[in-house]
Chains A and B, each alone.
Chain A
Amino acid sequence: MKRIVLSLLSTVSAVVLLFGYHTSTSGPAATAQAPVGASLSTTSTTTSSGGAGGSGAGGSGAGGSAEGTGGTTVTGGVAQTRWGPVQVRLTIDTTGTITDVEVPQYPAGNREDEQINSYALPVLVQETLDAQSADIDMVSGATVTSDGYIRSLQSALDQAFS
């Protein structure tokens, strides 16, 4: 098990951006938009399939379903998230078009996870790096498909460590 890392990132001149980054931990202003993001992300925790079972979330998948005038309303279960309870309800008309989305329950406030923010700022590297010189574990990119995988940076990383 050897790493292919040949030169440390510290030998590359990196630009750490320092401008006004705040951790958005505090205050009502910071939470003003929170419900939107929270509801988007936490609906995914309401799915029950996937093998992990319980997960402590109080949610179920699409729970109630009721015929209303002009369509169907599907209400997701209430998921207990770290931001508080979240629930999503959508209305679908007879042609299958979503005509309304409501968020009947969302957290009023939040405790921001500082751990995520305090480490998650991208650091620009002044010279582009390749797999041989970047001390990286995984690649995030838009071109990562099975077709191109064999020639990809990710493929090099996967092989180097196995």
Chain B
Amino acid sequence: MITTAAPVGRYVDHVMGMPVSLALRGRHTDDRTAQRAWAEAMASLHEADRVFSTYRVDSAVSRLARGELTVDQCPSEVAEVLALGELARRQSDGAFDVRRDGVLDPSGVVKGWAVERAARPLVALPDTDVCLSGGGDLICRVASPDSPPWRIGIEDPADPARVVAVVPVRCGAVATSGRAHRGDHVVDARTGRAPDGIASVTVVHAELTSADIDATAAYAMGRDAARWLRTRPRRTGLVVWADGRREVVP
């Protein structure tokens, strides 16, 4: 049995159909300051849900999709998220698209973006290491270069109770996309079909918004995933192929 050096404060809640898990080490793990920051983070995610959820008929995005609102009548972050989606579409040669058959669904951009925004009050905690996961996409920060890295397990797409790799991250983001995510919902926007030959893609990058988008875009590309990911600046990653082979993208 190992005794722990630094106590870890743990928090869990649910929003947008996903669990949100938080780990804190350092000065503020379970005091009022930490609890307030956690509450702010959750409030930020609930706000994102109100604006972006395609499951809520009254969200700004749902109203935009029905033509009841224009983009500039929506909260300003809607235009921001759409711009991110459009950049991703171009960078992925169309494999990633927030519109399919004319239907707007920016969910592929929103999750990472919303978790990154929600992490701000937590990252601002002084002398505190933070690891925040929103549905398996996460942000890591440590307060000092001497702090040990957060150790992030990458889920085995064939068996979610297991991990296939571990990535130690001090400051950065990790995002994973795969077929198991709420069913078969990621498709190659160019073909409308689920990608072939691939089980999951994990991207490690400085920021979660782009890590999440790239993981989804690479996954949508199927057999081209690793090749494309190599062209992306300052990312590392892991591709798990449908046959179980694992390929680290340095």
Report the separation of the CA atoms of residues A136 and B138 in the bound assembly, to the nearest whole angstrom.
Answer: 13
Inter-subunit contact B23/A146 (CB<8 Å): no
What 1/0 flags go to B107-136 for Cβ under 8 Å of A? 000000100111011011000000101011
**Which residues from chain A contact B12 at a C-beta distance below 8 Å?**
155, 158
Which residue from B7, B23, B177, B237 sits with its C-beta under 8 Å from A138? B23
A136, chain B: closest CB distance, angstroms: 4
Q: Judge whether A44 and B207 touch: CB under 8 Å.
A: yes
Interface residue range, chain B: 35 or more
B246 contacts which chain A residues (CB < 8 A)? 124
Partner of B117, one of A42, A44, A117, A148: A44
| Chain B residue nearest to A116 in the complex (CB) | B172
Of A122, A124, A139, A162, the contact of B236 (CB 8 Å cutoff) = A122
Give Cα A161 to B8, complex, Å. 7
Instruction: Name the contact of A141 in the complex, choosing from B3, B87, B176, B233 (C-beta under 8 A).
Output: B176
B151 and A137 within 8 A (CB): yes
Docked CA distance A91–B64 (Å) = 16
Contacts of B167 in A (CB 8 A): 120-123, 140
B202 interfacial contact with A, CB 8 Å:
yes
What is the 8 Å Cβ interface bit string for chain B, positions 46-79, against chain A (1 contact, 0 not)? 0100000000000000001001001110011101
| Complex partner residue of A44 from B70, B113, B145, B180, CB under 8 angstroms | B113
**Provided the pairs A33-B232, A112-B234 are in contact, do residues A143 and B151 lie with their beta carbons within 8 angstroms?**
no
Looking at the complex, which of B152-160, B187-195, B220-228 is the stretch in contact with chain A?
A: B152-160
| Count, chain A residues at interface, CB 8 A | 87
Is A116 a contact partner of B84 (Cβ separation < 8 A)? Answer: no
Chain B binding surface SS class: mixed
A98 to chain B, nearest CB (A): 5
Scoring A residues 16 to 59 as 1 if CB is less than 8 Å from chain B, else 0, what string do you get? 01011110100000110110110111111011011110010000
Residues of B within 8 A of A (CB): 1-4, 7-8, 10, 12, 14, 17-19, 21, 23, 40-41, 43-44, 47, 64, 67, 70-72, 75-77, 79-80, 82-84, 86-88, 90-91, 99, 104, 113, 116-118, 120-121, 123-124, 131, 133, 135-138, 145, 149-157, 159-172, 174-182, 200, 202, 204-207, 209-210, 213, 231-238, 246, 248, 250
A/B interface sample: 29 pairs, CB < 8 A? A37-B233, A40-B210, A40-B213, A41-B206, A41-B207, A47-B80, A50-B40, A61-B77, A88-B80, A115-B171, A116-B234, A119-B168, A122-B237, A123-B167, A124-B165, A124-B248, A128-B164, A129-B162, A130-B163, A135-B151, A137-B150, A139-B136, A140-B152, A140-B153, A140-B174, A141-B136, A142-B178, A153-B153, A154-B21
